[in-house]
Amino acid sequence: MPTQLEYARKNIKSAQIKTVAADEKIPLGKITAECAAGRIVIPANIHHKKLHPIGIGKILRTKINANIGNSSVQSCPKEELQKLKTAVKYGADTVMDLSTGANIRKIRREIIGHSTIPVGTVPIYECASIVQDTNKLDFELFLDVISKQAEEGVDYMTVHAGLLKKHVPLAMKRKMKIVSRGGAILAKWMACHNRENFLFENFGRILDVCRKNDVTISLGDGLRPGCLADASDKAQFAELDTLAELVGECRRAGVQAMVEGPGHIPLDQIEMNMRKEDEVCDGAPFYILGPVVTDCAPGYDHITSAIGAALGAFYGASMLCYVTPKEHLGLPDVEDVRNGVIAYKIAAHAADVALKKPDARMRDDMISDARAEFDWERQFKLALDPERAREYRRSSLAKAAKRQKKKDFCGMCGPQFCSIKASSEIAAQKPAK
Amino acid sequence: MPTQLEYARKNIKSAQIKTVAADEKIPLGKITAECAAGRIVIPANIHHKKLHPIGIGKILRTKINANIGNSSVQSCPKEELQKLKTAVKYGADTVMDLSTGANIRKIRREIIGHSTIPVGTVPIYECASIVQDTNKLDFELFLDVISKQAEEGVDYMTVHAGLLKKHVPLAMKRKMKIVSRGGAILAKWMACHNRENFLFENFGRILDVCRKNDVTISLGDGLRPGCLADASDKAQFAELDTLAELVGECRRAGVQAMVEGPGHIPLDQIEMNMRKEDEVCDGAPFYILGPVVTDCAPGYDHITSAIGAALGAFYGASMLCYVTPKEHLGLPDVEDVRNGVIAYKIAAHAADVALKKPDARMRDDMISDARAEFDWERQFKLALDPERAREYRRSSLAKAAKRQKKKDFCGMCGPQFCSIKASSEIAAQKPAK
């Protein structure tokens, strides 16, 4: 079967392409052309039966990804399904299962079985969990793992094939060196064996597997900066050049590809980073992690990174990988998933509104109308997180039990000095001449 | 006694000017010149005894303000002091007491008595709480209230003198009309009496009080947009033109002045809004509320607005008024104050780093060093909220009780696949050739 890229090149409007066009309210021809050019990817493994396909690309609604999955410190398959459910409920467009602990395969199969949104993985994690000593990794194991994952229905896979041996010394000069798990595993392997990255050397065989099952390749940035001091450095951009070459290889092989990006980036370097990827990688969708815009707020990195993500999307990133409040400290639990997803819905939506994407501001206008009319229920329904908004209003009115039945004020100003009420009184009389 | 503006004009280096220069690590001459030009204000009422003065201006560290205070629905003087303490602890540079409920004077006096940071108010709120029916307001009451507040030591006051009768019809065309409480009260008064804003007509007498006690005037934006649809409209900019005139009047009278700004603004209009205020108002410090960049996330407006605030500061705003998670829903409690202040420290700091203000990135570099060295305690101490960071790490390690004593990993990757550990192992061996 052809991949979505191949369908588009032949100008065949696949069911997936049609769905994306309809969902995004963009003409079918335009979507097809962007897919054919590789500027839109539709991660849709032919084996992922429950999938409702989405497109990832600059002209589309900005997408967000939620990372879930266990580590050897924390592991419970049931909790991972709960995280999936929470991520989908609050609007994640894709999930990545980043498990590195026990039951990797079982967890992944359950996630794919339950998921209507694309599922991504970082296959080197499963390989690492098999060999334990990561210096014992080899390409045959990797190929076996991705073949099985592809047959299970994984829609996209992060492959750190762009991190070369010659890049490692550049990274060793940094304050934080290598903070990507996959990148660190591979760099250590290269240093230990004094050999080139086996993912780079065997990239063609990876493409065969992806081509066959239409797995989208997400070119991992093993050298993403891990602190502001390391941002936009030689190591980062040397790897980006290699990722750009690999984008070309993917496209030649008919495999869909996107590129992963930073990381930790100061506010003033975000625009440059987005434009650079777009140029260097010939418009391949940029899938960024945050970026966080300061290093000094552990516990609040959903916020530090939502700032960077909003700007990143505004300057052209196509998908935002969420960061939760637990980033740098531990794995997210279900509540962290909720907080991370909402922070990223905000970032993505704010960018889409600013970019005037189709109908993006409609929700804002509707909720503002509801707010002006004191229609609290409608306001809650239109909120990104109705439960939280409802809970906050309830708790702030609790102390004024008697007034609870009145609806035409909020707990901020109280009923006496409500600006919205005053406004409607002014509007009701003839405006002053 | 002269105001800080008058000192600076005479090139007298007041104790306050010296403190600002020292704290900001900027030459005294530069600070004095900026103060003299009105591009820096130092809100320092001569009666506020415990004050440690700060400067507010584009070339200085971006400041953040925390709003506290009660409404008729929620009121407890002790809780307000707790909010003050929390705001100061997490790094608020000023607080505003926005009480409109019971015990206004008592609460304000206690706040000033306890506060080492500048305290601002919106005096029309106290006036409203006295008359209850806001159409009965008059200027003599206002003058009496600000005179008393000035003598109590209020460092800056929001005065909505720029909202004119002719602006009201412009605002009535909007989706959300008027969302500023002070603005709505005055607009309603003007509509009721068919008279000009009494604050505008008597502005000279307000200046006398402020001049005498060195109260900084914060020119309120009664017509700030309350939703994205109303952003950057005629009403907003018509008022801004009047605010610019009033900046001139303040300066001629030797009174320090800053200008308040929006509100709800889409991401792509923030730069334009910042540049416009700077131009129109001749460099008067811009003190912005958020702005929120989407209307549809009630319960998370500390995040929607931190995105806007970071960009606002990057493009020239001098002070950011925080927004808490309860915005649009109720009054913040102590925990909301904490979350709001941290979100705004992040926004302000991210902008300062991007603008390369003196030593701004030092904290980021230090925490990154600590992170690379697995020095958790130092990392926590450098974090904007040490308690939260510590709590998150503890909770994510709780499930791995046995490993708790090991420090060289975090709960994200677990001890086996830690990228930082792998990095240091690579660095320890000779780099691969």
Q: Is A403 exposed, middle or buried (0-12, 13-18, 19+ CB in 10 A)?
A: middle
**What is the reported pLDDT for B75?**
64
Chain A, residues 331-350, CB within 8 A of chain B, namely: 331, 342-343, 345-347, 349-350
Closest chain B CA to residue A102: B414
Q: How far is A60 from chain B, CA to nearest CA, in Å? A: 18
Cα of A178 to nearest chain B Cα, Å: 6
Q: Is the pLDDT of residue B102 over 90?
A: no
Between β-strands B56-57 and B40-41, what pairing exists: parallel, antiparallel or unpaired?
A: antiparallel
pLDDT band at B416 (very low <50, low <70, confident <90, very high): confident
In the 8-state DSSP scheme, what is residue A292? Answer: B
What is the reported pLDDT for A433?
Answer: 43
With a CB-CB cutoff of 8 Å, which residues 301-330 of chain B face chain A? 302-304, 306-307, 310-311, 314, 325-330
Looking at per-residue confidence, does B103 or B14 come out higher?
Answer: B14
The larger pLDDT score, comparing residue B421 to residue B259, is at B259
Query: A263: cis peptide before it, omega within 30°?
Result: yes
B210 backbone dihedrals φ, ψ, rounded to 5° = -70, -40
| A:275-294 residues touching chain B, CB 8 A cutoff | 293-294
Average pLDDT over residues A212-222: 98
What ipTM was reported for this prediction? 0.96
B-chain CB neighbours of A302 within 8 Å are 303
Q: What is d(CA A190, CA A134) in angstroms, rounded to the nearest whole number?
A: 11
CATH topology of domain B4-354: TIM Barrel (3.20.20)
Stretch A131-145: mean pLDDT? 97
Q: Between residues B2 and B99, which one has the greater pLDDT?
A: B2
pLDDT of B399 higher than 90: no
User: Chain B partners of A223 at a C-beta cutoff of 8 Å?
Assistant: none
Count of C-beta atoms within a 10 Å radius of residue B76: 15
Size of interface A-B (CB pairs under 8 A): 422
| Residues in a beta bridge with B374 | none
Kindly report, residue by residue over A385-425, the tens digit of the pLDDT.
Answer: 999 999 999 988 776 554 545 666 766 777 778 888 888 88
Q: Residues 6 or more apart from B146 whose CB is under 8 A from it? A: B123, B157, B206, B209, B210, B215
Q: What is the pTM of this model?
A: 0.97
pLDDT of residue A170: 98
Alpha carbon distance B163, B221 (integer Å): 7
Name the 3-class secondary structure at A156. strand
**Residue B103: is its pLDDT beyond 90?**
no
Q: Between B51 and A411, where is the model more confident? A: B51
Average pLDDT over residues B41-48: 98
Query: What is the rounded average pLDDT of the residues A350-360?
Result: 97
CB A159 within 8 A of CB A125: no
Calculate how close chain A gets to B235, using CA atoms only, in Å.
14
Show me where the domains of chain A are located: 4-354, 362-428
pLDDT > 90: what percent of chain B?
87
- Which pLDDT score is estimated for B433? 43
Best mutation site among A98, A132, A172, A294 for testing chain B: the one with the most B CBs within 10 Å? A294
Q: How confident is the model at residue B432 (pLDDT cuts 50, 70, 90)?
A: very low
Q: Which one is predicted more confidently, B401 or A310?
A: A310
Nearest by CB to B396, from A303, A330, A424: name it: A330
Measured between beta carbons, the chain B residues lying within 8 angstroms of A177 are: 372, 420, 423-424, 426-427
Q: What is the DSSP string of A214-240?
A: TPEEEE--TT--SSGGGTT-HHHHHHH
Please choose, from the candidates A352, A409, A365, the residue with its C-alpha nearest in 3D space to the C-alpha of residue B230: A365
Question: Residue B70 above 90 pLDDT?
Answer: no
**How high is the pLDDT of residue B355?**
98
Q: What is the mean pLDDT of residues A264-279?
A: 98
Q: At what angle do helices B270-280 and B234-252 cross, to 10 degrees?
A: 30
Q: Does A170 touch chain B (CB under 8 A)?
A: no
Residue to test with chain B: of A190, A346, A399, most B Cβ within 10 A: A346
**Quick check: A142 pLDDT over 60?**
yes
Average pLDDT score, chain A: 94
Structure confidence by residue, pLDDT tens digits, A113-137: 999 999 999 999 999 999 999 999 9
Q: Which of residues 356-395 of A touch B (CB under 8 A)?
A: 361, 363-365, 367-369, 371-372, 379-380, 382-385, 388-389, 391-393, 395
DSSP-assigned letter for residue B66: E
Q: Which of residues 171-200 of B touch A (CB under 8 A)?
A: 171-172, 175-181, 183-185, 187-188, 190-192, 194
The distance of A164 to chain B (nearest Cα, Å) reads 11
Q: What is the mean pLDDT of chain B?
A: 94
* Paired tokens of A16: 């997936």
Per CB-CB distance under 8 Å, the chain A contacts of B71 are 411-414, 417
**Residue B415 — very low, low, confident or very high, per pLDDT cuts 50/70/90?**
confident
Gap from A209 CA to chain B (nearest CA, Å): 26
Residues of A in contact with B385 (CB under 8 A): 297, 299-300
Does the pLDDT value for residue B72 go beyond 80?
no
